[in-house]
Amino acid sequence: MLDFGCAGGELLRNVRTIFPATRLYGLDPFQQDGEGYIHLRSPAQCEGLTFDLITGFEVLEHLGDSATESFFRLVSEQLAPAGVAIVSAPNMLGPALAMKLLHGAVSSGSAMNYSAREAIDAMLTLKSPPRLQPSRSGTMRHKGYDWRITRARIAREFDITWETFTPIAGMWWGFNSQWFCVFRPRRTD
């Protein structure tokens, strides 16, 4: 298993307790080495490795174009033939955005850099505002992220085997705060 954007390795430590014999890797250039898994700092360190599972939970929205392509190239080249990739990303559109903006205003003193017009457009017309410039570390913020673009990117190259929205699966995606997607390389037979 490779957890792309593993942060402090909490997911990997939890997997280790359930599957102690599993070979675990975490890829994150911004974190210190973790315990119970092999910490990688760049996709280049994955060369020669094959993974049955590659995860990217709440990370794609923080990647610029080249890092996003690096993630998908890694899935294409390093995922085992019977393996799967699982990603989750925030939904920054529709009525669900109102709660995120309210939470941002209360918890951090900001409303995630949305103007009133941008927020209304994103909630009512499902139009994403422009993305913000990357931070000094090169990571992106949530503003302007559109999960639909990521989904279309996945559907062009991979087979989507399952997807859902949370916290209310089965309800229109605009009322949900997260999107989850399981996919694998497209079969040629």
- Indicate the number of domains in the chain: 1
End-to-end alpha carbon distance in the chain: 26
Average pLDDT for the chain: 90
Most confident among 26-35, 96-105, 123-132, 156-165 (mean pLDDT): 156-165
Whether 166 has a pLDDT exceeding 60, the answer reads: yes
Any domain includes 85: yes
Per-residue pLDDT, 104: 75
The CATH number assigned to the domain holding 71 equals 3.40.50.150
Q: What confidence tens digit (pLDDT) does each residue in 80-106 have?
A: 999 999 999 999 999 999 988 887 776
Q: In the predicted model, what is the mean pLDDT of residues 61-74?
A: 92
Any domain includes 131: no
Q: In the predicted model, what is the mean pLDDT of residues 158-175?
A: 96
Any domain includes 116: no
- Tokens matching residue 172: 């229109």
What gap in Å lies between CA 67 and CA 62, rounded to an integer?
A: 9
- Judge whether 92 and 153 are in contact, CB under 8 Å: no
Q: What confidence tens digit (pLDDT) does each residue in 19-45 have?
A: 999 999 999 988 777 788 999 999 999
Whether 177 has a pLDDT exceeding 80, the answer reads: yes
Query: Given the structure tokens 């009512």, which residue do they identify?
Result: 124
Q: Report the half-sphere exposure of 172 (CA within 13 A, side-chain side).
A: 7
Any domain includes 175: yes
- Tokens matching residue 36: 């119970």
Return all residues near 54 (Cβ < 8 A) that are at least 6 apart: 1, 2, 4, 74, 75, 78, 79, 83, 84, 85, 86
Range of the domain at 87: 2-91+141-185
What b/e sequence results for 21-48 when a residue is b if at least 16 CB atoms lie within 10 Å of its CB, and e otherwise?
Answer: eeebbbbbeeeeebeebebbeebeebee
Any domain includes 125: no
Q: In the predicted model, what is the mean pLDDT of residues 138-156?
A: 89
Any domain includes 19: yes
Whether 109 has a pLDDT exceeding 60, the answer reads: no
Any domain includes 155: yes
**Predicted structure pTM score:** 0.90
Any domain includes 105: no
More confident position, 135 or 2:
2
